[in-house]
Amino acid sequence: MSVRVRYGPSPTGEPHVGNIRTALFDWLLARRFGGQFIVRIEDTDQSRAVEGTEQLILDALTWLGLDWDEGPDVGGPFGPYRQSERLPLYVEAADRLIAEGKAYRCVCSSERLDALRKSQQQAKQPPGYDRRCRELGLPGDEPHVVRLAMPLDGDTVVNDYLRGDVFFQNALLDDHVLLKRDGFPTYHLASVVDDHHMQITHVIRGDEWLSSAPRHVQTYAVLGWDEPIWVHLPIIRGPDKGKLSKRHGATSVREYADKGFLPEALLNFLALLGWSRDETTTIMSRDEIVESFDLDGLGLASAMFDIERLSEMNARYIRDLDPADFLARGKPHLELRLGHSVENDALDRLLTIAPAIQERVKLMPEFADYTDFFFNDGPLDYANDALMGKAYKNKPWMALESVEASLQTLRSVAESGWTAEALEAALRDLATERGEKPGALFTPIRVAATGKRIAPPLFDTLETLGQARTLERLNAAAERLARPDD
Protein backbone atom coordinates (compact mmCIF):
# COMPACT_ATOMS: atom_id res chain seq x y z
CA MET A 1 0.00 0.00 0.00
CA SER A 2 1.48 3.30 -1.02
CA VAL A 3 1.11 6.08 1.53
CA ARG A 4 -1.23 8.90 0.47
CA VAL A 5 -1.71 11.71 2.95
CA ARG A 6 -3.39 15.04 2.65
CA TYR A 7 -3.13 18.40 4.35
CA GLY A 8 -6.55 20.00 4.32
CA PRO A 9 -6.27 23.64 5.29
CA SER A 10 -9.25 25.93 5.23
CA PRO A 11 -8.41 29.20 3.48
CA THR A 12 -9.52 31.35 6.37
CA GLY A 13 -6.24 33.00 7.27
CA GLU A 14 -2.52 32.55 7.36
CA PRO A 15 -1.39 29.14 8.48
CA HIS A 16 -0.50 29.01 12.09
CA VAL A 17 2.62 27.17 13.24
CA GLY A 18 0.50 24.65 15.16
CA ASN A 19 -1.56 23.85 12.09
CA ILE A 20 1.45 23.51 9.83
CA ARG A 21 2.78 20.77 12.13
CA THR A 22 0.03 18.58 10.69
CA ALA A 23 1.27 19.31 7.18
CA LEU A 24 4.81 18.50 8.28
CA PHE A 25 3.85 15.09 9.68
CA ASP A 26 1.85 14.33 6.52
CA TRP A 27 4.80 15.32 4.38
CA LEU A 28 7.29 13.34 6.49
CA LEU A 29 5.21 10.20 6.28
CA ALA A 30 4.84 10.56 2.52
CA ARG A 31 8.53 11.23 1.97
CA ARG A 32 9.67 8.51 4.32
CA PHE A 33 7.64 5.83 2.57
CA GLY A 34 7.83 7.12 -0.99
CA GLY A 35 4.17 8.09 -1.00
CA GLN A 36 2.25 11.19 -2.04
CA PHE A 37 1.62 14.37 -0.12
CA ILE A 38 -1.53 16.12 -1.23
CA VAL A 39 -2.76 19.63 -0.50
CA ARG A 40 -6.52 19.93 -0.51
CA ILE A 41 -8.16 23.26 0.07
CA GLU A 42 -11.15 22.84 2.37
CA ASP A 43 -13.25 25.82 1.40
CA THR A 44 -16.76 24.58 1.90
CA ASP A 45 -17.56 27.20 4.50
CA GLN A 46 -17.82 30.05 2.07
CA SER A 47 -18.62 32.61 4.77
CA ARG A 48 -15.23 32.04 6.39
CA ALA A 49 -13.10 31.96 3.28
CA VAL A 50 -10.62 34.84 3.01
CA GLU A 51 -9.43 35.87 -0.43
CA GLY A 52 -5.72 35.32 -1.01
CA THR A 53 -5.12 32.96 1.88
CA GLU A 54 -4.82 29.86 -0.30
CA GLN A 55 -1.67 31.37 -1.75
CA LEU A 56 -0.35 32.23 1.72
CA ILE A 57 -0.82 28.62 2.76
CA LEU A 58 1.09 27.37 -0.27
CA ASP A 59 3.80 29.97 0.35
CA ALA A 60 4.21 28.79 3.94
CA LEU A 61 4.63 25.19 2.78
CA THR A 62 7.15 26.27 0.16
CA TRP A 63 9.14 28.31 2.64
CA LEU A 64 9.40 25.30 4.93
CA GLY A 65 10.41 23.13 2.00
CA LEU A 66 7.32 20.91 2.14
CA ASP A 67 6.70 20.15 -1.50
CA TRP A 68 3.42 18.55 -2.58
CA ASP A 69 2.70 16.02 -5.29
CA GLU A 70 -0.91 16.96 -5.91
CA GLY A 71 -2.69 20.18 -5.11
CA PRO A 72 -4.80 23.08 -6.35
CA ASP A 73 -1.97 24.64 -8.33
CA VAL A 74 -0.25 21.54 -9.72
CA GLY A 75 -3.35 19.39 -10.19
CA GLY A 76 -3.09 15.62 -10.12
CA PRO A 77 -5.05 12.48 -10.96
CA PHE A 78 -7.63 12.94 -8.18
CA GLY A 79 -8.48 16.60 -8.72
CA PRO A 80 -9.88 19.12 -8.44
CA TYR A 81 -8.15 19.90 -5.16
CA ARG A 82 -10.52 22.59 -3.90
CA GLN A 83 -13.61 21.26 -2.22
CA SER A 84 -15.79 24.03 -3.65
CA GLU A 85 -15.05 22.52 -7.07
CA ARG A 86 -16.11 19.03 -6.03
CA LEU A 87 -19.74 19.64 -5.08
CA PRO A 88 -21.27 16.96 -7.34
CA LEU A 89 -19.33 14.26 -5.49
CA TYR A 90 -20.82 15.29 -2.16
CA VAL A 91 -24.35 15.54 -3.57
CA GLU A 92 -23.98 12.12 -5.12
CA ALA A 93 -22.96 10.58 -1.79
CA ALA A 94 -25.77 12.35 0.07
CA ASP A 95 -28.37 11.30 -2.54
CA ARG A 96 -27.25 7.72 -2.31
CA LEU A 97 -27.55 7.74 1.46
CA ILE A 98 -31.03 9.28 1.28
CA ALA A 99 -32.13 6.67 -1.24
CA GLU A 100 -30.83 3.92 1.04
CA GLY A 101 -32.56 5.40 4.08
CA LYS A 102 -29.24 6.18 5.78
CA ALA A 103 -29.59 9.92 5.60
CA TYR A 104 -32.63 12.16 5.46
CA ARG A 105 -33.79 15.62 4.53
CA CYS A 106 -34.51 17.98 7.38
CA VAL A 107 -36.51 21.18 7.02
CA CYS A 108 -36.30 22.38 10.61
CA SER A 109 -35.81 26.14 10.67
CA SER A 110 -32.93 27.79 12.45
CA GLU A 111 -35.49 29.37 14.83
CA ARG A 112 -36.73 25.93 15.79
CA LEU A 113 -33.18 24.67 16.28
CA ASP A 114 -32.31 27.70 18.43
CA ALA A 115 -35.37 27.17 20.60
CA LEU A 116 -34.52 23.48 20.89
CA ARG A 117 -30.98 24.27 21.99
CA LYS A 118 -32.24 26.71 24.63
CA SER A 119 -34.71 24.26 26.08
CA GLN A 120 -32.04 21.55 26.17
CA GLN A 121 -29.72 23.93 27.99
CA GLN A 122 -32.40 24.76 30.55
CA ALA A 123 -33.21 21.11 31.10
CA LYS A 124 -29.47 20.39 31.35
CA GLN A 125 -29.73 17.88 28.52
CA PRO A 126 -26.94 17.37 26.01
CA PRO A 127 -27.46 19.63 23.02
CA GLY A 128 -28.27 18.17 19.63
CA TYR A 129 -30.87 17.75 16.97
CA ASP A 130 -33.99 15.87 18.20
CA ARG A 131 -34.46 13.98 14.91
CA ARG A 132 -37.93 15.36 14.23
CA CYS A 133 -37.54 14.95 10.45
CA ARG A 134 -35.87 11.54 10.62
CA GLU A 135 -38.92 9.37 10.04
CA LEU A 136 -40.80 11.75 7.75
CA GLY A 137 -39.08 10.81 4.49
CA LEU A 138 -39.38 14.37 3.21
CA PRO A 139 -39.06 15.01 -0.53
CA GLY A 140 -36.58 17.60 -1.74
CA ASP A 141 -39.02 20.36 -2.70
CA GLU A 142 -38.49 22.64 0.30
CA PRO A 143 -35.17 24.14 1.39
CA HIS A 144 -33.54 21.50 3.55
CA VAL A 145 -30.36 20.13 4.91
CA VAL A 146 -29.36 16.47 4.73
CA ARG A 147 -28.59 14.71 8.00
CA LEU A 148 -26.95 11.38 8.66
CA ALA A 149 -29.19 8.90 10.49
CA MET A 150 -26.76 7.93 13.24
CA PRO A 151 -27.23 4.73 15.24
CA LEU A 152 -29.38 5.34 18.32
CA ASP A 153 -27.62 3.04 20.73
CA GLY A 154 -24.42 1.11 21.15
CA ASP A 155 -20.95 2.56 20.65
CA THR A 156 -18.92 3.78 17.74
CA VAL A 157 -15.31 2.71 17.96
CA VAL A 158 -12.60 4.89 16.52
CA ASN A 159 -9.38 3.00 16.14
CA ASP A 160 -6.81 5.71 16.57
CA TYR A 161 -3.21 4.82 15.80
CA LEU A 162 -1.91 6.51 18.92
CA ARG A 163 -4.74 5.74 21.33
CA GLY A 164 -6.05 2.37 20.26
CA ASP A 165 -9.82 1.89 20.35
CA VAL A 166 -11.69 4.94 21.53
CA PHE A 167 -15.37 4.35 22.34
CA PHE A 168 -18.11 6.89 21.77
CA GLN A 169 -21.65 6.35 23.01
CA ASN A 170 -24.00 6.75 20.09
CA ALA A 171 -26.76 8.03 22.36
CA LEU A 172 -24.65 11.17 22.81
CA LEU A 173 -24.14 11.79 19.08
CA ASP A 174 -26.93 13.54 17.20
CA ASP A 175 -27.77 13.34 13.51
CA HIS A 176 -25.30 15.84 12.14
CA VAL A 177 -25.65 17.73 8.89
CA LEU A 178 -23.94 16.36 5.78
CA LEU A 179 -25.19 18.84 3.20
CA LYS A 180 -26.16 22.38 4.07
CA ARG A 181 -29.08 24.37 2.70
CA ASP A 182 -26.80 26.09 0.19
CA GLY A 183 -25.88 22.72 -1.30
CA PHE A 184 -22.38 22.80 0.17
CA PRO A 185 -21.22 19.87 2.26
CA THR A 186 -20.15 20.14 5.86
CA TYR A 187 -16.60 19.27 6.75
CA HIS A 188 -17.85 15.90 8.02
CA LEU A 189 -19.14 14.82 4.63
CA ALA A 190 -16.57 16.52 2.43
CA SER A 191 -13.53 15.16 4.24
CA VAL A 192 -14.85 11.59 4.14
CA VAL A 193 -15.89 11.72 0.48
CA ASP A 194 -12.61 13.27 -0.56
CA ASP A 195 -10.42 11.04 1.58
CA HIS A 196 -12.14 8.08 -0.05
CA HIS A 197 -11.98 9.32 -3.64
CA MET A 198 -8.43 10.56 -3.24
CA GLN A 199 -7.41 7.17 -1.79
CA ILE A 200 -6.03 8.71 1.37
CA THR A 201 -4.41 6.04 3.54
CA HIS A 202 -3.74 8.02 6.72
CA VAL A 203 -5.71 10.91 8.15
CA ILE A 204 -3.31 12.84 10.34
CA ARG A 205 -4.86 15.79 12.14
CA GLY A 206 -4.99 17.61 15.45
CA ASP A 207 -6.84 15.92 18.27
CA GLU A 208 -9.50 18.61 18.29
CA TRP A 209 -11.01 16.41 15.56
CA LEU A 210 -11.11 13.25 17.64
CA SER A 211 -14.63 14.01 18.87
CA SER A 212 -15.81 14.22 15.24
CA ALA A 213 -14.14 10.96 14.28
CA PRO A 214 -17.10 8.70 15.26
CA ARG A 215 -19.23 10.67 12.81
CA HIS A 216 -16.69 10.01 10.12
CA VAL A 217 -16.43 6.34 11.03
CA GLN A 218 -20.22 6.05 10.70
CA THR A 219 -20.14 7.83 7.36
CA TYR A 220 -17.56 5.38 6.03
CA ALA A 221 -19.71 2.53 7.30
CA VAL A 222 -22.94 3.65 5.62
CA LEU A 223 -21.14 4.42 2.40
CA GLY A 224 -19.51 0.99 2.48
CA TRP A 225 -16.00 2.37 2.24
CA ASP A 226 -12.83 1.33 4.06
CA GLU A 227 -11.64 3.70 6.73
CA PRO A 228 -8.20 5.26 6.55
CA ILE A 229 -5.79 4.94 9.45
CA TRP A 230 -6.68 7.62 11.98
CA VAL A 231 -3.89 9.54 13.64
CA HIS A 232 -4.98 12.30 15.98
CA LEU A 233 -1.92 14.26 17.00
CA PRO A 234 -1.54 15.40 20.59
CA ILE A 235 -2.63 18.91 21.34
CA ILE A 236 0.19 21.44 21.33
CA ARG A 237 0.61 23.23 24.65
CA GLY A 238 2.56 26.22 25.81
CA PRO A 239 5.13 25.94 28.62
CA ASP A 240 2.35 26.84 31.08
CA LYS A 241 0.49 23.71 29.94
CA GLY A 242 -2.30 25.80 28.44
CA LYS A 243 -3.48 25.16 24.90
CA LEU A 244 -1.12 26.80 22.42
CA SER A 245 -2.16 30.33 21.65
CA LYS A 246 -0.80 33.68 20.54
CA ARG A 247 0.65 34.44 23.95
CA HIS A 248 2.99 31.46 23.54
CA GLY A 249 4.24 32.82 20.24
CA ALA A 250 1.89 30.73 18.12
CA THR A 251 1.48 32.94 15.16
CA SER A 252 1.65 32.53 11.46
CA VAL A 253 4.52 30.83 9.72
CA ARG A 254 5.19 34.07 7.89
CA GLU A 255 5.75 35.93 11.15
CA TYR A 256 8.44 33.41 12.02
CA ALA A 257 10.05 33.97 8.66
CA ASP A 258 9.91 37.74 9.12
CA LYS A 259 11.37 37.56 12.61
CA GLY A 260 14.39 35.78 11.19
CA PHE A 261 13.87 32.14 12.04
CA LEU A 262 15.41 29.76 9.53
CA PRO A 263 13.00 27.35 7.89
CA GLU A 264 15.17 24.37 8.78
CA ALA A 265 15.18 25.38 12.46
CA LEU A 266 11.40 25.78 12.52
CA LEU A 267 10.98 22.48 10.71
CA ASN A 268 13.22 20.67 13.20
CA PHE A 269 11.40 22.29 16.09
CA LEU A 270 7.91 21.45 14.78
CA ALA A 271 8.91 17.84 14.08
CA LEU A 272 9.58 17.42 17.80
CA LEU A 273 6.07 18.54 18.75
CA GLY A 274 4.72 15.04 19.21
CA TRP A 275 7.43 13.02 17.52
CA SER A 276 10.90 11.94 18.56
CA ARG A 277 13.55 9.71 17.11
CA ASP A 278 14.89 8.62 20.48
CA GLU A 279 15.25 9.99 23.98
CA THR A 280 18.07 12.38 23.26
CA THR A 281 18.41 13.56 19.68
CA THR A 282 17.06 17.03 19.10
CA ILE A 283 19.04 18.51 16.23
CA MET A 284 18.29 16.77 12.95
CA SER A 285 18.43 17.91 9.39
CA ARG A 286 15.40 17.59 7.15
CA ASP A 287 16.89 14.46 5.55
CA GLU A 288 17.68 12.88 8.89
CA ILE A 289 14.13 13.46 10.06
CA VAL A 290 12.71 11.98 6.87
CA GLU A 291 14.95 8.94 7.24
CA SER A 292 13.89 8.21 10.77
CA PHE A 293 10.27 9.33 10.73
CA ASP A 294 7.51 6.86 11.32
CA LEU A 295 4.21 6.79 13.16
CA ASP A 296 5.71 4.76 15.98
CA GLY A 297 7.85 7.74 16.93
CA LEU A 298 4.69 9.74 17.64
CA GLY A 299 3.58 10.03 21.23
CA LEU A 300 0.74 11.61 23.10
CA ALA A 301 2.69 13.38 25.78
CA SER A 302 5.37 15.54 24.38
CA ALA A 303 4.05 18.43 22.32
CA MET A 304 5.24 21.53 24.15
CA PHE A 305 5.72 24.71 22.19
CA ASP A 306 8.58 26.47 23.92
CA ILE A 307 9.67 29.54 22.03
CA GLU A 308 12.92 29.65 24.04
CA ARG A 309 13.80 26.26 22.71
CA LEU A 310 13.00 27.33 19.18
CA SER A 311 15.20 30.41 19.59
CA GLU A 312 18.08 28.30 20.83
CA MET A 313 17.64 25.94 17.93
CA ASN A 314 17.59 28.83 15.52
CA ALA A 315 20.86 30.19 16.92
CA ARG A 316 22.36 26.76 16.57
CA TYR A 317 21.23 26.43 12.96
CA ILE A 318 22.60 29.88 12.16
CA ARG A 319 25.93 28.96 13.71
CA ASP A 320 26.10 25.79 11.66
CA LEU A 321 25.36 27.41 8.30
CA ASP A 322 28.04 27.41 5.69
CA PRO A 323 29.47 30.99 5.88
CA ALA A 324 28.65 31.75 2.24
CA ASP A 325 25.09 30.57 2.78
CA PHE A 326 24.89 32.64 5.95
CA LEU A 327 25.94 35.76 4.04
CA ALA A 328 23.47 35.08 1.26
CA ARG A 329 20.64 34.75 3.75
CA GLY A 330 21.73 37.81 5.68
CA LYS A 331 22.01 39.96 2.58
CA PRO A 332 18.34 40.99 2.31
CA HIS A 333 18.37 42.12 5.95
CA LEU A 334 21.50 44.17 5.34
CA GLU A 335 20.06 45.73 2.20
CA LEU A 336 16.91 46.63 4.03
CA ARG A 337 18.99 48.41 6.68
CA LEU A 338 21.22 50.22 4.19
CA GLY A 339 18.41 51.13 1.83
CA HIS A 340 20.40 49.99 -1.18
CA SER A 341 21.62 46.79 -2.74
CA VAL A 342 24.95 45.21 -1.92
CA GLU A 343 27.18 43.61 -4.53
CA ASN A 344 28.09 39.98 -3.99
CA ASP A 345 31.80 40.81 -4.23
CA ALA A 346 31.48 43.26 -1.40
CA LEU A 347 29.59 40.72 0.64
CA ASP A 348 32.27 38.12 0.00
CA ARG A 349 34.76 40.26 1.88
CA LEU A 350 32.88 39.20 5.01
CA LEU A 351 33.61 35.51 4.48
CA THR A 352 36.45 35.41 7.01
CA ILE A 353 34.57 37.22 9.70
CA ALA A 354 31.25 35.46 8.99
CA PRO A 355 31.76 32.56 11.45
CA ALA A 356 32.37 35.05 14.28
CA ILE A 357 29.15 36.86 13.36
CA GLN A 358 27.31 33.55 13.17
CA GLU A 359 28.22 32.97 16.82
CA ARG A 360 26.40 36.15 17.75
CA VAL A 361 23.33 36.31 15.55
CA LYS A 362 20.26 34.70 17.08
CA LEU A 363 17.71 35.96 14.56
CA MET A 364 18.62 36.81 10.99
CA PRO A 365 17.71 40.54 11.05
CA GLU A 366 20.56 40.99 13.57
CA PHE A 367 22.87 40.30 10.65
CA ALA A 368 22.47 43.95 9.73
CA ASP A 369 23.60 45.08 13.20
CA TYR A 370 26.85 43.19 12.83
CA THR A 371 27.64 44.20 9.27
CA ASP A 372 26.10 47.52 8.27
CA PHE A 373 29.16 49.56 9.30
CA PHE A 374 31.30 47.74 6.76
CA PHE A 375 29.13 49.27 4.05
CA ASN A 376 28.73 52.75 5.46
CA ASP A 377 30.76 55.41 3.70
CA GLY A 378 29.70 58.47 5.63
CA PRO A 379 30.58 59.38 9.22
CA LEU A 380 29.31 56.87 11.75
CA ASP A 381 26.66 57.82 14.19
CA TYR A 382 27.66 57.32 17.84
CA ALA A 383 27.89 59.29 21.05
CA ASN A 384 31.23 60.50 22.43
CA ASP A 385 30.32 58.76 25.68
CA ALA A 386 30.37 55.46 23.88
CA LEU A 387 33.80 56.26 22.53
CA MET A 388 35.19 56.97 25.98
CA GLY A 389 33.74 53.82 27.46
CA LYS A 390 33.90 53.12 31.17
CA ALA A 391 37.62 53.63 31.50
CA TYR A 392 37.63 57.19 30.15
CA LYS A 393 34.20 58.25 31.23
CA ASN A 394 34.13 62.07 31.27
CA LYS A 395 37.84 62.18 30.39
CA PRO A 396 37.87 62.93 26.67
CA TRP A 397 41.47 64.12 26.77
CA MET A 398 42.61 60.71 28.07
CA ALA A 399 40.50 58.92 25.50
CA LEU A 400 42.05 61.15 22.84
CA GLU A 401 45.52 60.28 23.98
CA SER A 402 44.69 56.60 23.85
CA VAL A 403 43.16 56.86 20.35
CA GLU A 404 46.20 58.78 19.12
CA ALA A 405 48.52 56.11 20.46
CA SER A 406 46.44 53.45 18.75
CA LEU A 407 46.51 55.43 15.53
CA GLN A 408 50.24 55.59 15.63
CA THR A 409 50.55 51.85 16.20
CA LEU A 410 48.03 51.02 13.48
CA ARG A 411 49.73 53.33 11.00
CA SER A 412 52.96 51.46 11.57
CA VAL A 413 51.43 48.08 10.72
CA ALA A 414 52.43 47.35 7.15
CA GLU A 415 49.49 47.01 4.85
CA SER A 416 50.60 43.50 3.92
CA GLY A 417 50.64 42.58 7.60
CA TRP A 418 47.11 43.86 8.25
CA THR A 419 45.79 40.64 9.75
CA ALA A 420 43.73 40.03 12.86
CA GLU A 421 46.67 38.26 14.55
CA ALA A 422 49.16 41.05 13.83
CA LEU A 423 46.68 43.71 14.91
CA GLU A 424 45.93 41.91 18.13
CA ALA A 425 49.62 41.49 18.95
CA ALA A 426 50.40 45.13 18.18
CA LEU A 427 47.49 46.55 20.18
CA ARG A 428 48.04 44.27 23.16
CA ASP A 429 51.68 45.33 23.27
CA LEU A 430 50.57 48.92 23.14
CA ALA A 431 48.22 48.40 26.09
CA THR A 432 51.03 46.85 28.12
CA GLU A 433 53.41 49.60 27.16
CA ARG A 434 50.93 52.26 28.23
CA GLY A 435 50.01 50.39 31.41
CA GLU A 436 46.43 50.44 30.23
CA LYS A 437 43.87 47.65 30.53
CA PRO A 438 43.29 46.14 27.07
CA GLY A 439 39.56 46.84 27.37
CA ALA A 440 40.25 50.53 28.01
CA LEU A 441 42.32 50.75 24.85
CA PHE A 442 40.03 48.64 22.68
CA THR A 443 36.70 50.28 23.47
CA PRO A 444 37.38 53.55 21.65
CA ILE A 445 38.82 51.62 18.71
CA ARG A 446 35.75 49.41 18.49
CA VAL A 447 33.32 52.31 18.70
CA ALA A 448 35.33 54.40 16.25
CA ALA A 449 35.54 51.56 13.73
CA THR A 450 31.99 50.27 13.97
CA GLY A 451 29.93 53.03 15.58
CA LYS A 452 28.75 50.42 18.10
CA ARG A 453 29.55 49.14 21.54
CA ILE A 454 28.60 45.62 20.48
CA ALA A 455 30.21 44.41 17.31
CA PRO A 456 31.96 41.36 15.89
CA PRO A 457 35.38 40.53 17.39
CA LEU A 458 37.57 43.59 17.17
CA PHE A 459 40.65 42.36 15.33
CA ASP A 460 38.68 40.44 12.71
CA THR A 461 36.60 43.54 12.25
CA LEU A 462 39.63 45.74 11.69
CA GLU A 463 41.13 43.23 9.29
CA THR A 464 37.93 43.14 7.26
CA LEU A 465 37.52 46.89 7.35
CA GLY A 466 41.05 47.37 5.98
CA GLN A 467 43.79 49.72 7.03
CA ALA A 468 42.68 52.83 5.16
CA ARG A 469 39.16 52.86 6.52
CA THR A 470 40.25 51.94 10.02
CA LEU A 471 42.68 54.85 10.12
CA GLU A 472 40.09 57.19 8.63
CA ARG A 473 37.53 56.23 11.27
CA LEU A 474 40.01 56.53 14.13
CA ASN A 475 41.02 59.95 12.86
CA ALA A 476 37.39 61.00 12.83
CA ALA A 477 37.08 59.77 16.41
CA ALA A 478 40.17 61.68 17.44
CA GLU A 479 38.71 64.84 15.96
CA ARG A 480 35.49 64.36 17.87
CA LEU A 481 37.39 63.86 21.12
CA ALA A 482 39.44 66.98 20.48
CA ARG A 483 36.19 68.94 20.32
CA PRO A 484 34.30 67.23 23.15
CA ASP A 485 31.66 69.92 23.52
CA ASP A 486 30.32 69.62 19.99
Q: Candidates 5-13, 138-146, 319-327, 407-415 — which segment interacts with ligand GLU by CB under 6 A?
A: 5-13
Instruction: Give the other-Cβ count within 10 Å of 91's Cβ.
Output: 17
Nearest distance in Å: CB 67, ligand GLU: 19
246 included as an active-site residue: yes
Is residue 220 near ligand GLU by the rule CB under 6 A? no
* Residue with smaller CB distance to ligand GLU, 42 or 70: 42
- The SS3 of residue 233 is strand
Instruction: Give the other-Cβ count within 10 Å of 15's Cβ.
Output: 25
Helix ranges (DSSP H) in 208-322? 213-223, 253-259, 263-271, 286-292, 307-319
Cα–Cα distance, 458 to 426 (Å, whole number): 13
Q: How many helices (H) and strands (E) does the chain have?
A: 20, 9
Is residue 10 near ligand GLU by the rule CB under 6 A? yes
Among 3, 4, 5, 8, binds ligand GLU (CB under 6 A): 8
Among 9, 72, 238, 456, binds ligand GLU (CB under 6 A): 9
Q: Candidates 6-14, 162-170, 346-354, 463-471 — which segment interacts with ligand GLU by CB under 6 A?
A: 6-14
Total residues interacting with ligand GLU, rule: CB under 6 A: 7
- Would you give the binding string for ligand GLU spanning residues 16-55, x where CB under 6 A is met? --------------------------x-------------
Q: Are 175 and 134 in contact (CB under 8 A)?
A: yes
Q: Under rule CB under 6 A, which residues in 166-205 are in contact with ligand GLU?
A: 191, 205
Is residue 70 near ligand GLU by the rule CB under 6 A? no
Instruction: Please tell me which residue in 124, 241, 246, 390 is annotated as part of the active site.
Output: 246
Is residue 161 near ligand GLU by the rule CB under 6 A? no
Nearest distance in Å: CB 380, ligand GLU: 51
Is residue 463 near ligand GLU by the rule CB under 6 A? no
- The SS3 of residue 105 is strand
* Residue with smaller CB distance to ligand GLU, 179 or 388: 179
CA 273 to chain centre: 12
* Residue with smaller CB distance to ligand GLU, 60 or 449: 60
* Residue with smaller CB distance to ligand GLU, 45 or 372: 45
Cα–Cα distance, 269 to 257 (Å, whole number): 14
Cα–Cα distance, 77 to 379 (Å, whole number): 62
Q: Candidates 7-15, 246-254, 410-418, 428-436 — which segment interacts with ligand GLU by CB under 6 A?
A: 7-15
Q: Candidates 8-16, 94-102, 113-121, 334-342 — which segment interacts with ligand GLU by CB under 6 A?
A: 8-16
Cα–Cα distance, 201 to 2 (Å, whole number): 8
Contacts of 356 (CB under 8 A, 6+ apart): 456, 457, 460
* Residue with smaller CB distance to ligand GLU, 18 or 330: 18
Q: Candidates 4-12, 135-143, 376-384, 409-417 — which segment interacts with ligand GLU by CB under 6 A?
A: 4-12
* Residue with smaller CB distance to ligand GLU, 186 or 443: 186
Nearest distance in Å: CB 272, ligand GLU: 21
Active site residues: 246
Residues that bind ligand GLU (CB under 6 A): 8-10, 42, 191, 205, 209
